[in-house]
């Protein structure tokens, strides 16, 4: 059996809840075709079988290591440059940044363009890191530890108005019903939105064998970027996200979609003049900068 066929079958068994069978298939693929991806998949399933699945964002170490290396370095450099340009055009009102993380995209942009920012980050650890960085740099950034869903439901922000809402690789973490609610709120509270998102494969379940092979090929390239120093990136982030695509609604951490889906979501929420441009040719999928106006 080819490594792709074995991994696809393991992923499908994982999605069906057949964890011992999934582990057996993954370990066989790793034994027959030892490579970073098959070995990482087998190790991930051993942890899941032994300890149970964990939220990929339960601790920030895996994600923090992931974005600090590999193709993420030029990706975030270009994202910050596009964000700085957007800030130059929207300086009259405060800026809302959803899912700011540790400020990897925002802070370099603010060193170029001064702006008042409300930064919203659901991870307590990342929010604390962001507060430290903001204070050290003396930037006009208020950091709120919250999800986008809790922010839009809080009375403190009912009458808030923003010139721009930015979300860099953040809205993909929202389930579709929550995303629609958040975009509807942004339409009423922001003049414009700017998103950085990937033109991802269509991950609508059930995932076909062709799409599954495509995903595996992309992740083989991604895991290879971290082969020299794989932990905690591979086990703490890449594998949970990969298996999450096949989880049939269980433990899913990511709801990416093709570029056409992002533009359709914005138009459905009432945004106008939706514009897109290529941001960076990333290993997982080409990243795009998406802007839209509320009126």
In a domain, 60, yes or no: no
Task: Specify whether 41 is located in the same domain as 185.
Answer: no
Task: Specify whether 168 is located in the same domain as 227.
Answer: no
pLDDT score, position 249: 62
Q: How many domains does the chain have?
A: 2
In a domain, 157, yes or no: yes
Task: Specify whether 115 is located in the same domain as 163.
Answer: yes
What is the phi/psi pair of residue 52, to 5°?
90, 155
Which residues pair with residue 193 across a beta bridge? Answer: 165, 292
Rg (CA), the chain: 20
pLDDT score, position 56: 43
Q: How many CA atoms lie within 13 A of 198 on its CB side?
A: 21
For tokens 């950034």, what's the residue?
Answer: 141
- Tens of pLDDT along 227-246? 888 889 999 889 988 988 88
Task: Specify whether 286 is located in the same domain as 240.
Answer: no
Predicted structure pTM score: 0.87
Mean pLDDT to the nearest integer, 5-10: 94
In a domain, 17, yes or no: yes
**By residue range, what is the domain housing residue 216?**
3-52+212-244
Task: Indicate if the pLDDT at residue 258 is higher than 70.
Answer: yes
End-to-end CA distance of the chain: 55
In a domain, 249, yes or no: no
In a domain, 83, yes or no: yes
Q: In what order do the strands lie in the sheet with 141-145?
A: 141-145, 117-121, 95-98, 162-168, 190-198, 286-293, 272-281
pLDDT score, position 251: 56
Q: 190-202 in b/e burial notation, b at 16+ Cβ within 10 A?
A: bbbbbbbbbbbbe
In a domain, 133, yes or no: yes
Task: Specify whether 33 is located in the same domain as 85.
Answer: no
Task: Specify whether 260 is located in the same domain as 123.
Answer: yes
Task: State how far Cα 57 lies from the chain centre.
Answer: 11
- Tens of pLDDT along 182-222? 999 999 999 999 999 999 998 887 889 999 999 999 999 99
Mean pLDDT to the nearest integer, 64-73: 91
Task: Indicate if the pLDDT at residue 102 is higher than 60.
Answer: yes
Query: In this structure, how many other beta carbons lie within 10 angstroms of the beta carbon of residue 220?
Result: 17
Task: Specify whether 261 is located in the same domain as 177.
Answer: yes
Task: Indicate if the pLDDT at residue 290 is higher than 70.
Answer: yes
- Residue 78: CATH number of its domain: 3.40.50.150
Task: Specify whether 88 is located in the same domain as 137.
Answer: yes
Q: 106 or 231: whose pLDDT is higher?
A: 106
Q: Under 8 Å CB-to-CB from 235, ≥6 apart: which residues?
A: 40, 43, 44, 47, 62
Task: Specify whether 87 is located in the same domain as 150.
Answer: yes
What is the phi/psi pair of residue 290, to 5°?
-125, 125
Task: Specify whether 234 is located in the same domain as 113.
Answer: no
In a domain, 188, yes or no: yes
Going by pLDDT thresholds of 50, 70 and 90, the confidence category of residue 252 is low
Task: Specify whether 33 is located in the same domain as 168.
Answer: no
Give the H or E element holding residue 53. none
In a domain, 205, yes or no: no
Task: Specify whether 193 is located in the same domain as 240.
Answer: no
Cα-based distances in Å from 154 to 147, 151, 174, 193: 11, 5, 18, 20
């Amino acid at each position: 059996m080819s490594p792709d066929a074995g991994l696809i079958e393991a992923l499908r068994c994982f999605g069906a809840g057949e964890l011992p069978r999934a582990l057996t298939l993954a370990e066989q693929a790793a034994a027959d075709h030892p490579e970073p991806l098959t070995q990482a998949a087998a190790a991930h399933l051993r942890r899941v079988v032994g300890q149970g699945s964990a939220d990929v964002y339960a601790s920030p170490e895996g994600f923090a290591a992931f974005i600090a290396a590999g193709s993420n370095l030029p990706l975030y450099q270009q994202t910050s440059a596009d964000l700085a340009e957007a800030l130059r055009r929207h300086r009259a009102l405060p800026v809302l940044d959803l899912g700011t993380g540790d400020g990897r995209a925002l802070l370099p942009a603010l060193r170029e363009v001064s702006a008042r920012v409300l930064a919203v980050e659901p991870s307590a650890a990342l929010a604390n890191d962001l507060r430290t960085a903001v204070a050290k740099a003396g930037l006009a950034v208020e950091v709120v530890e919250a999800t986008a869903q809790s922010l839009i439901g809080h009375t403190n922000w009912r009458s808030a108005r923003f010139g721009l809402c930015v979300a860099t690789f953040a809205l993909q973490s929202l389930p579709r019903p929550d995303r629609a609610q958040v975009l509807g709120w942004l339409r009423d509270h922001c003049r414009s939105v700017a998103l950085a998102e990937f033109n991802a494969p269509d991950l609508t379940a059930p995932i076909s064998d062709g799409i599954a092979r495509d995903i595996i090929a992309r992740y083989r390239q991604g895991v290879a970027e971290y082969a020299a120093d794989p932990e905690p990136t591979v086990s703490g982030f890449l594998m949970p996200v990969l298996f999450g695509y096949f989880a049939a609604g269980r433990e899913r951490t990511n709801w990416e979609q093709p570029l056409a889906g992002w533009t359709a979501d914005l138009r459905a929420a009432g945004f106008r003049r939706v514009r897109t441009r290529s941001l960076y040719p990333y290993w997982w999928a080409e990243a795009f900068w998406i802007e839209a106006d509320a009126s």
